[in-house]
Amino acid sequence: MRQATHILRIATPGRGLIEISRDVTRWLRAEAVDTGLLTLFCRHTSASLLIQENAAPEVRDDIEAYFAAIAPEDPTRYAHDDEGPDDMPAHLRTALTQVQIAVPVIDGRMALGTWQGIYLFEHRARPHRREIALHLIGA
């Protein structure tokens, strides 16, 4: 067994789902592991990771609309607003999603389904630089 790590740096344009599957696949190919487990970890409390459909862009729009409804930017609802009106809603969105995902590696590829992609879900309105820690173990 061998292990490999990497920090994937993503510049986000602001709120929304940014597919990172290609970036992860590029790194995974270079590692030349046939069978293993890839763990991705988002190093932030106002962004998260999702595995979601990557064919229909309406899915991403609907997910964002849903989270806007359940964690709205409403300054009357939250005490925490150190970085603006989107601060606490961003933390709530992260709490309701996930910051870590694990994907099996089979035959040197992520074992994602046909229409699945890996997304960084940016919850803040303004652009950010996000870091995703990748950890691969396998042979």
Q: What is the pLDDT of residue 75?
A: 87
**CATH number (domain holding residue 116):** 2.60.120.460
Q: Encoding tokens for residue 131? A: 């870091």
DSSP string, 62-89: HHHHHHHHHS---TTT-S--TT-TTHHH
Nearest Cα to Cα of residue 17 among 55, 59, 45, 75: 59
Domains in the chain, number: 1
Mind listing the pLDDT tens digit of every residue in the chain (139 residues)?
999 999 999 999 999 999 999 999 999 999 999 999 999 999 999 999 999 999 999 999 999 999 999 999 998 999 998 999 999 999 999 999 999 999 999 999 999 999 999 999 999 999 999 999 999 999 9
pTM: 0.95
Identify the domain containing residue 103 by its residue range: 2-138
Sign of CA dihedral 98, 134, 37, 137: negative
Nearest Cα to Cα of residue 41 among 94, 91, 105, 2: 94
